[in-house]
Amino acid sequence: MASQSSTPVQQQALSSTTSTSSKPKFSHPPVSILPSQFARGYALAHPAILLSLVIYRFSSVVNDPVVELLSDIPFLVGLQVVYVMGCLPPAGVEKDGSPSTDGTARKTPGHKRRGHSASKGSAWATGLVTVAWKLTPALLSLTLTTLLATPTLALLLVLFGAPLTTHHALTFLCAAHMALLSAFPLIYAHGVDGEIWREIWGASRPADAVWGGALGTCLGAWFGAVPIPLDWDRPWQAYPITILTGAYIGYVLGMLLGRAKGVFGKRLEFVPQGLTDIKVD
């Protein structure tokens, strides 16, 4: 039911973007949250849990950022793993543009096979199979997040003004948190598909929870730098507390906004009109 209602919206969004700009071929549709009851519920609960954790742990981050940010990572990993496995289709499933039907089609054989032997434990068994089947991409994306996304984000943080000669541990921890928020769902949902990553590098992905969350994380971190120069001399103004707080808020907002009705499927287009004119003269 849910999947049926989401596909027309998706297609409409797709057609509207293709009509506005003629050249790029958008072969990769936005990612929809899985249709299951749990997925739809948890996709809303997850941002709430993350934000309350930020509020709950804020004072200890201010007191000892290195220790607190480090000890938060396992919890963040856990929450994000539950979120991506429970709510997002893993990479490769949605190739033909109909994610939900494909996902269920893969699950049904296992369900049927086990249905013969034990009908009571079948729900449990399907659950286990699904978890086991999704755990591999989750673990793979987690590895890539640690090995690739975290160093890349740390470099980007330095490029955007983070201290280069000091605060290395904090920069890396901040990058790790941001990578878990933004890159982990991206890798889980898109794998290492070069074309999609080109779209991400060009910021031209259609809006969805995954891309919205990633973009929101980066924008939030950028805006998070604003209070640092103020002369209030508050301990929370220290690098990178405001930046990471901004990243979390941005992630939550971006994730929710990316799924919102008028936004889902839309793309950022930064092509200045004037440039087509120059080509003429």
Partner 1 sequence: MHYLGLDHIGHKAGPQSSHMIPKQHEMDSIVSQVYQAIEQETHLHSTLFVLCGDHGMNDAGNHGGSSAGETSPAVLFISPRFRALDTNRQSPADALRDLQYYRVVDQTDITPTLAGLLGLPIPLNSLGVFIPEFLDMWHTSAERLELLLANSKQLLRTLTQTYPSYDFDTPATCHVSSDSGNLEKAHCAWARVKELLSQEEHAEIETILLQLLRTSQAAMSSAASNYELPYLFLGICIAGVASVLSLPASYEALRRYQQPGLFLVASILSYGIMMFASSYVEEEQQFWYWAFTGWAVYLHVRSFQLQPAVRAFRSSFLLTTFGAVALTMSHRILRRWNQTGQKFAAEPDIARTYFSTHQGTLWTLVVLTYADIYLCLVRNDSSSSPTWYLSCLAVTVVAFTFKLAFATSESPELVANYVATTLRGIPLIPYARVVMSGIAILCLSKKKRDTRIKSPPRSLHSALTLFLVTQSRVTNIPIFLVFRLQLKILASMNLASVEVTVTSLFMQYITFFAFGGSNAISSIDLSNAYNGVGNYNLVLVGILTFVSNWAGPIWWVSASKLLRSKRPRGESQTHVALLTLCVACMLLSVMAACTVLRTHLFIWTVFSPKYLYTMSWAIIHHFAVNLLGDIDLLFSSAT
Task: State the residues that interact with partner 1 by CB under 8 A.
Answer: 23, 158-161, 164-165, 201-204, 222, 225-226, 228-234, 268-276, 278-279, 281
Contact (Cβ atoms closer than 8 angstroms) between residue 259 and residue 209: yes
Closest to partner 1 by CB, 143 vs 166, is 166
Q: Give the nearest distance from C-beta 268 to partner 1 in angstroms.
A: 7
Q: In the complex, what is the shortest distance from the CB of residue 228 to partner 1, in angstroms, rounded to a whole number?
A: 8
Burial state string for 64-103 with b = 16 or more CB within 10 A and e = fewer than 16? ebeebbeebeeebbebbbbbbbbbbbbbebbeeebbbebb
243 closest CA partner among 259, 223, 273 = 223
Which CB atom, from 131 or from 226, has the smaller least distance to partner 1?
Answer: 226
Smallest separation (angstroms) from partner 1 to the CB of 32: 24
Residue 110 or 151 with smaller CB distance to partner 1: 151
At closest approach, how far in Å is the CB of 249 from partner 1? 18
User: Is 50 within 8 Å of 252 (Cβ atoms)?
Assistant: yes
Q: How far is the CB of 203 from partner 1 (least distance, A)?
A: 5
Closer to partner 1 by Cβ: residue 28 or 107: 28
Which residue lies nearer to partner 1 by CB, 115 or 161? Answer: 161
Cα separation, 151 vs 145, whole angstroms: 9
CA angle 55, 64, 253 (to 5 degrees): 30
Token readout for 214 is 């990633």
CB 123 within 8 A of CB 131: no
**Between 56 and 270, whose beta carbon lies closer to partner 1?**
270
Shortest distance, CB of residue 136 to partner 1, whole angstroms? Answer: 31
Give the number of other Cβ atoms within 10 Å of residue 171's Cβ.
21
* Token output for 260: 């919102």
Residues 69 and 77: their CA atoms lie apart, in Å, by 12
Other Cβ atoms less than 10 A from the Cβ of 225: the count is: 16
